[in-house]
Amino acid sequence: MPGRGLWQAMREEEEAIGYLDRVLEDEDEEEPRTPSTPGLGSGFLATEKGERDSGKSLEMRKLVLSDFLASEEIYINQLEALLLPMKPLKATATTSQPVLTTQQIETIFYKIQDLYEIHKEFYDSLYPKVQNWDSSVVLGHLFQKLASQLGVYKAFVDNYKIALQTAEKCSQSNNQFQKISEELKVKSPKDSKESHTSVTMEALLYKPIDRVTRSTLVLHDLLKHTPSDHPDYPLLQDALRISQNFLSSINEDIDPRRTAVTTPKGETRQLVKDGFLVEMAEGTRKLRHVFLFTDVLLCAKLKKTAVGKHQQYDCKWYMPLAELVFPSLEELDPCPHVHAMPDHDLEDMKMKISSMKSEVQKEKANKGQSRAMERLKKKMFDNEFWLLLNSPSIPFRIHHRNGKSYLFLLSSDYERAEWREAIQRLQKKDLQTFVLSSVELQVLTGSCFKLRTVHNLPVTSNKDDDEPPGMYGFLHVIVHSAKGFKQSANLYCTLEVDSFGYFVSKAKTRVFRDTTEPQWNEEFEIELEGSQCLRILCYEKCYDKTKLNKDDNEIVDRIVGKGQVQLDPQTVQTKNWHMDVIEMNGIKVEFSMKFTSRDMSLKRTPSKKQTGVFGVKISVVTKRERSKVPYIVRQCVEEVEKRGIDEVGIYRISGVATDIQALKAAFDSNNKDILVMLSDMDINAIAGTLKLYFRELPEPLLTDRLYPAFMQGIALSDLSAKENCMMHLLRSLPDPNLITFLFLLEHLKRVAEKEPVNKMSLHNLATVFGPTLLRPSEAESKGNLSLASDIWSHDVMAQVQVLLYYLQHSPITFAELKRNALFFSTDV
C-alpha cells in the first residue's frame, strides 16, 4: 500500500475483516435452497461450498495476520524506544554524576530487553510466512512459542507498579531524567510519512501489558477463521488457552484505572470516570452503571448471577466520543415527559428508612438474631434503592450525531456538570469513530467489573459498621465572597449537601450584578441528614429569556465553578466559625461554617427579657398586644400570601440567615419600619423568620403537656376514635395556642393549593412544620436520647403525621371546637 500511512492501512484491513465476517455470516444464514442442477449431485455442491468457504477462511487468516504483523512492528519500535536511553543511563551510573543509580535503571527497564528479543524473533519468523502466503503455510507453532514465553511478561507485570513509581520519583528529583521520560522518540513504521512520534515513558511502560490482550484477541480471530482440520488449529487453541489464563491472572495486578484494550489509534484505552446513573429507557427508570473511557461512553447493567459466580456487566449501549454531541438549546427537541414521583412519597420513604435505621441500631445494641437483622437490612436496602431510583429529576441527555439520544436523570447539577466536563475534555483530543467487534465489546465490558472505581450503591445498607454515619443537625454556612473572575458577570452560588445517598440543593445566594468580586456575605442554615459533604456551585445568571432549557423549562445559567469540602465533625462541631476556601477553575470562594446538633438547635430557651416576641410565651405576647394571633405571625403570613405563595420551595428553601436575624431584631424591638422591611425583604427570609419564631417558643405550639397524647392519638386505628381524640386534644390547648394553630393551618392549606406552581404539598409543609410545632419536652427527650441517625425516627414520623392529619381535615373553626367541648371532658 505505497503512499498511505500504516494506521490507515490497518483501519482498512479491520473494516475489510468486519465486512467479510458479515458477508460470511449472511451467506451461512441465507444459503440458496434451490433444487440440484441436473447432472450434479448434492455431494458435488457440498464440496464446491466447502472449497469456497475454505478459500474465504484463508483470505481472512491473511488479513488478520497482516494487521497483527503491522501492529507487531509498532510494538517492537516502542520497546526499542524504551531501550534507547537505557544504555547511556547505564554508562553514567558508574560516573561521579549519575542521572540514575544502577538499581533504579534495573527497576525501571526490568525485562524490556528480554521482551524486545522475544518479539523481534517472533516478527522475523512470521514476516516471510505472511509475505509468501499460500494455503500450506503453518504458523501455529510460532504463536504457541510466544505464549510459552509469557513468564517474562509475568515478571514484568509483578514489577510494573514499582517501575512506574520509581520513574515518577526520579522524574521529580532529576530534571535531566524528566526531560528524557517526557519525550521518548518512537520510530514510525516503514511506510509512514513521519520519521518518529513522541511518547512518554509511562505510556510506553504500559505497552507490554496492552500487548498481551492484543495477542489474545488476534488468536481468537485467527482460530475463528482456521478450519478445525488445519494443522494450526490445535496449536492456536493451546496458545489461546495459555494467553487467556495468563490475562485473567494479571488483570488484578495492573493499574485499576486502565483497560487492557486499545483505541483505534493504537493508544491505551483508560477508564476516566464511572458511576451509577438513572436512565429513562422505554419510559421506565433503570439503574445503570456508566463507564467513561478515553474514547467511548459505555452504559451497562450488572447481570444477575448465581451465588458463588463472578459478577459481570451486560452492555446496554455504547457511543464513541467522536460521535457524541451536546446540541445547543435551540437544536434540542423537547425532553420526553418524565413522571416525577410526588414529594410526599419521597418524604414518606425517607422517614421509613430512618425508622428502619433506628430498628437496626436497636437490634445491634440488643444483639438481636442475625436472621431478623438480615431481613431488616434487606427491607431497608429495597427502600433505599427505590429512593435512589425515583428521586433524581435533573435531565442529562446524551446525543449521537445520527440523531439517537439517551436520557439520564440526576439529582444534582454538580453531577451533571462533572459528566459533561469530563466528556468534553476528552473530546478536545483527536478522536476517531469506530465500531467495536463482538469480541472487543466483550473484552471491554468484561473489564468493567475489575476497573470500576464506584463499587457499591450509595445506600446505608452497603456501608461498613465502622464507616462514619454522617452528620445530623444544622450546618450554618456564610458565603462571603469570590475572587478570580476575568470579566464582570451576574454571579450567585448554590449549596448542596448529600442526604440519603444523593445530593440535594439546599440554598442559593442573591445575584451580585456586573462584578468580578461578588461580596455576598449571606448566612444559611442547612439541615443535615447523615451528610458528609458540602458542595458549592458558582453560576453566571442568564437574563435572556430566549435561552430556555426545554428539559425543565428554566432559564439555563452557566456554571462557572464548582467545588466540594468534606464535613469533618471535629472541625465543624465547635462554637466558633470555621473559615475555609474552595478553589474552582481559578476562582476562590470564601465561606465559613459551624454546626449545631439537632437537640441543641431545637433546645427551647425562654427569653430573659419579656419585652420582645422571640422566646416569649405566646400567651404573654398576645396579652401584651391585645391580639388573638401574634403580630409577627399575622404579618409574615400576610407577606407570604401576597408575594410568596407562588415561590418554588416556599418554607423549604433556606432564607439568608442575616436577613432573618435582622427581621427578628426588628420584631423584638417593635421597629416602626417593620412593614417597610417586610416589603423589601427576600420572601424566603420572611418564611424563615416565621419558622424561627415557632422554633424559639419556650415550649412548642402544641405544648409539652399534650405531646404524649398527640403521639397516642395519631396511632389509633379506629377512624372514629382517632377523630374524637384529635379534636379533643385541640380543644385542650390554651386559647392563644389553638387560635394561632388554626390560623397557621388555614394559611398552609392555601399555600398547598398552589402546589403545581410552588411544589409544596400538604405533606411537604407537614414535614417542614411538624417537628417545630410538636416536640417532646426536654425532660422526656433526655430520657429517650438515641443515636443522631434516629432524628427521622418514629417520633418525627408521628409529628409530621399529626400536622398532616389536621391539614387534610375539613376546615376546623375555634367556635365549633368550643361548642363541641360541652360534650367532652377536658381532662387528658
What is the sign, positive or negative, of the torsion defined by CA atoms of 736, 700, 606, 650? negative
707, amino acid identity: Y
As to burial, measured by CB atoms within 10 angstroms (0-12 exposed, 13-18 middle, 19+ buried), residue 306 is exposed
pLDDT above 60: residue 12: no
| Stated pTM of the model | 0.58
pLDDT above 50: residue 25: no
Number of neighbours of residue 553 by Cβ within 10 angstroms: 9
Mean local confidence (pLDDT), 207-217:
82
CA–CA distance, 569 with 579 (Å, rounded to integer): 14
Mean local confidence (pLDDT), 14-37:
38
Where residue 238 falls among pLDDT bands split at 50, 70, 90? confident
Among 288-292, 441-445, 804-808, the least confident range: 441-445
Q: Tell how strand 394-400 and strand 405-410 pair up.
A: antiparallel
Cα-based distances in Å from 224 to 57, 58, 64, 212, 693: 9, 11, 11, 19, 78
Where residue 528 falls among pLDDT bands split at 50, 70, 90? confident
The answer to whether the beta carbons of residues 107 and 163 sit under 8 Å apart is: yes
Q: Which of 484, 505, 488 is nearest to 540 (CA)?
A: 488
Q: Tell how strand 258-262 and strand 558-566 pair up.
A: unpaired
Mean local confidence (pLDDT), 282-307:
87
Tell me which range, 515-524, 577-586, 790-799, is most confidently predicted by mean pLDDT: 515-524
Share of the chain above pLDDT 90, in %: 33
Among 170-184, 260-274, 625-639, 662-676, the least confident range: 260-274
Looking at residue 137, its pLDDT comes to 84
CA–CA distance, 417 with 697 (Å, rounded to integer): 43
Which three three-digit cell numbers place residue 59? Answer: 483470505
Alpha carbon 90 to chain centroid distance?
Answer: 48
pLDDT above 70: residue 89: yes
pLDDT above 50: residue 37: no
Where residue 749 falls among pLDDT bands split at 50, 70, 90? very high
Higher pLDDT, 248 or 665: 665
Mean local confidence (pLDDT), 351-366:
77
pLDDT above 90: residue 575: no
Looking at residue 606, its pLDDT comes to 59
Where residue 24 falls among pLDDT bands split at 50, 70, 90? very low
pLDDT above 50: residue 824: no
What's the distance, Cα to Cα, between the start and end of the chain in Å?
A: 98
pLDDT above 90: residue 826: no
Helical residues (DSSP H) of 391-540, grouped into ranges: 413-427, 438-451
Higher pLDDT, 489 or 203: 489
The enclosing H or E element of 126 equals helix 112-131
Which three three-digit cell numbers place residue 235? Answer: 496449536
E-only strand ranges, 54-180? none
pLDDT above 60: residue 8: no
The enclosing H or E element of 379 equals helix 370-390
Looking at residue 266, its pLDDT comes to 55
Mean local confidence (pLDDT), 673-687:
91
Share of the chain above pLDDT 70, in %: 80
Looking at residue 148, its pLDDT comes to 86
619, amino acid identity: S
Mean local confidence (pLDDT), 348-362:
79
Looking at residue 213, its pLDDT comes to 78
Mean local confidence (pLDDT), 636-654:
91
Q: Which of 641, 632, 642 is nearest to 664 (CA)?
A: 632
pLDDT above 60: residue 579: yes
**582 pairs with which residues across the strands?**
589
Counting every residue written for the chain, the total comes to 828
Which three three-digit cell numbers place residue 514? Answer: 456586573
The answer to whether the beta carbons of residues 215 and 146 sit under 8 Å apart is: yes
CA–CA distance, 681 with 685 (Å, rounded to integer): 7
pLDDT above 80: residue 443: yes
Among 159-163, 186-190, 621-625, the least confident range: 186-190
Looking at residue 751, its pLDDT comes to 96
Average pLDDT, the chain: 81
Which three three-digit cell numbers place residue 589? Answer: 470562594
Mean local confidence (pLDDT), 798-809:
92
Q: Which residues fall within 8 angstroms of residue 170, CB to CB, at 6 or more apart?
A: 100, 104, 108, 177, 181
Higher pLDDT, 103 or 544: 103
Cα-based distances in Å from 283 to 29, 340, 367, 382, 412: 35, 12, 44, 21, 21
Mean local confidence (pLDDT), 609-619:
85
As to burial, measured by CB atoms within 10 angstroms (0-12 exposed, 13-18 middle, 19+ buried), residue 658 is middle
